[in-house]
Amino acid sequence: MSAEATNPGNPEAADRRRGRPGPALRGLRRIGRAALLGPAPRDGLPDALEHVAKVHRHHHPDADLDTLSRAYQLAESSHRGQTRKSGEPYITHPLAVTLILAELGAETTTLTASLLHDTVEDTDVTLDQVRAEFGTEVCYLVDGVTKLEKVDYGTAAEPETFRKMLVATGNDVRVMSIKLADRLHNMRTLGVMRPEKQARIAGVTRDVLIPLAERLGVQALKTELEDLVFAILHPEEYAETRRLVEKYGGHPDPLAEIAARARTILADAGIDAQVLVRPRHFVSVHRVLLARGRITGADLGRLLVLVAEDADCYAVLGELHTCFTPVVSEFKDFIAAPKFNLYQSLHTAVGGETGEIAETLIRTHRMHRVAEAGVIALGNPYAPTDGADAPEGERADPTRPGWLDRLLEWQRTTPDPDTFWTSLRDDLAQDREITVFCTDAAADGPAGTIGLPAGASCVDAAYAKHGEAAHGCIGARVNGRLATLGTVLHDGDNLHLLMAQDADGLAGPSPEWLDHTRTPAARLAISRWLARSQGTGEPPAAPAGRHGERRRVPAHRPAGPDRAGAASGLVVADLPGATVRLAGCCTPVPPDTVTGFAVRGGTVTVHRALCPAVARMAAMGRQPVGVRWRGAAKGGHGCRVTLLAEAFSRPHLLPDLTEAIAAQGAAVVSAAVEPPHEQLVRHTYTLHLPNAAGLPSLMRAMRQVPGVFDVVRAATAVRTGNC
């Protein structure tokens, strides 16, 4: 059985659903038949290359096909005798990859490299041969997508190969374009693999390559990859979604009627526009079903309106909103404010006469090319140019947005392949970018801006701006107001980072900063500092609390495996090689019953068994990690705990409580007092105890303060101060 026959998502059918030009299955079959006959040229062009050449000439009428012909002949002779698992000649794979890129409008250099992309990896062809025959650019692209040998790298081969591709992409984005097309063809023909290998490849595609396709704006590849991954990893949901699509396929399309009316309206208004019904791909339909609980015929597609000029987009919007009933909440302007992956379009939704809602995309033909092919549609962004041909308002180097710079920066400081692999997946999981305007004196970026993933905090911004020097950050102002370093930033915020004047006198970052990080760069820098601090024999200290006490925090270090598992300070976890830290939400101390959960970066967070966070994570299906107190923890180790003091409001209550705490030898890390309500007040203290055994006597001493009627352990910490 052929790979196409066993593949769950037929690519030709997928293209028909999307209503866009795509790799036609008959074209691939023609390539396969021609490949079986060898490289016999006809009028100077090999038969197998004819379909690729026709598509390429459609986008680039003046393309030099001689280079493609020479590349094909080298690839065919090098791969001759090799077959794919489906039984086809191996040359059909680089041909199919080249056809995918040709249909997206890639230029000749990219197509040349795609024809040769497996020669250095799988044949006797060397990079020097490629360079001598086709030049430095093609050689660089081929080298960028060539995998590292498992013989040399073992289990680290895959993460290190992706690291190599990312670095190469930083210099030439076409490297990742070829990799994405390569993975798409492999996913189309994945049906011949064992189910477990299908699942592994689909998982990497979902976690790494689909997010990269999204960031590079290559929606045509991203959507098909999503459908193929969906079919492999979620076969039941895929089958149900496909059944729903086929069910509505036999009914009249309500969007067709709305599209016809829209064409008439725009023609009467003198606007030259093309109105299409654009079917959704399966994953998009499934998302609509999850969001609304049901779907209608109108949910299976969207209207796409294509015009010539930017101003026409807004003219179309005005006509549609005048003649249809608009859904105001659905309007988004990605022309005035493009997405970080170059995407531009107007989004709206209008109601038809029968009540059907039609989601509508309005864009120019140029915007549509970029929306489909992303950076591939831009040709070679690194070719020397005087900028005369660049579209007005387009960035000089649109392929180097903030997310790529961040990836390249933190990967340089992450030599460990496992940490790099985990951090890469975490970083790519952030699906939206924000821009923050940094107004501190050290701002040195363009216009003082910092690009960050959505959900990033002041901690992330500090490390993005200052690197290791962010260890000396002591606070922040967000939009002119003092804010904690854990404050989540939003697009357009003005940020002023407060840095210590004498960095050498500071204790450095607190372990709690890790709870507020979204970027690998910040997380890795903080973890390295904590590890170094523990290596001195002293637990890492942190800035003074509200009452001036210099606080000490529990030991946190990346510890190696021992007989029982990984150890850190007071706690041992049954997860070799993991860093262990105590949760700030419930501040467990010996001899509390505890449980652990693995979080980002290979860290195990330890919670009290009764902590509400434990129930939440269990409800989410998170698997606990076995943890226990060390035998030595029953001795004189210090610990941190958060206590809630419930009292009747009276003068001097705060100094009396802090005096009782100090008399027990405990240090105040932070304190918060809620406003009195009906003469009742609650104080929250995070305290450092020199010995966990002293906790009961401390709580008794606090209860004996006049006006205090109860002191309990906190289930959830109240975070205050600047850390």
For this structure, is 76 an active site residue? no
Contacts of 682 (CB under 8 A, 6+ apart): 644, 645, 646, 647, 673, 674
Check if the beta carbon of residue 276 is closer than 8 Å to that of residue 304: yes
Q: Three-class SS string for 360-385? A: EEEEEHHHHHHHHHHHHHHCCCCCCC
Among 122, 207, 333, 416, the one annotated catalytic:
122
Residue 348 main-chain phi, psi, to 5 deg: -150, 180
d(CA 419, CA 711): 42
**What is the DSSP track for 91-139?**
THHHHHHHHHHHHTT--HHHHHHHHTTTHHHHSS--HHHHHHHH-HHHH
Closest CA to 568 of 507, 514, 614, 642: 514
Angle between helices 157-171 and 417-428 (to 10 degrees): 60
- What tokens were used for 583? 């949760």
User: Within 13 A of 408's CA, how many CA atoms are on the CB side?
Assistant: 15
Sort strands 346-351 and 357-364 into parallel, antiparallel or unpaired. Answer: antiparallel
Report the alpha-carbon angle 172-520-536, nearest 5: 130
Check if the beta carbon of residue 27 is closer than 8 Å to that of residue 287: no
d(CA 353, CA 125): 64
For this structure, is 122 an active site residue? yes
The residue type of 340 is F
In the chain the first and final C-alpha atoms are separated, in Å, by: 61
Place of tokens 């609650």: 682
Residue 591 preceded by cis peptide, ω within 30:
yes
Stated length of the chain: 723
Among 12, 47, 50, 121, the one annotated catalytic:
121
Closest CA to 498 of 511, 510, 515, 481: 481
DSSP 3-state assignment of 351?
A: strand
Closest CA to 529 of 478, 467, 574: 467
Sort strands 274-279 and 301-307 into parallel, antiparallel or unpaired. Answer: antiparallel
Place of tokens 């104080």: 683
**SS3 helix, strand, coil % of the chain, rounded to 5?**
50, 20, 35
Q: Three-class SS string for 446-503? A: HHHEEEEECCCEHHHHHHHHHHHHHHHEEEEEECCEEECCCCECCCCCEEEEEECCCH
**What is the DSSP track for 390-420?**
SPTT--SSTT--HHHHHHHHHHHT---HHHH
User: Which residues form the catalytic set?
Assistant: 121-122
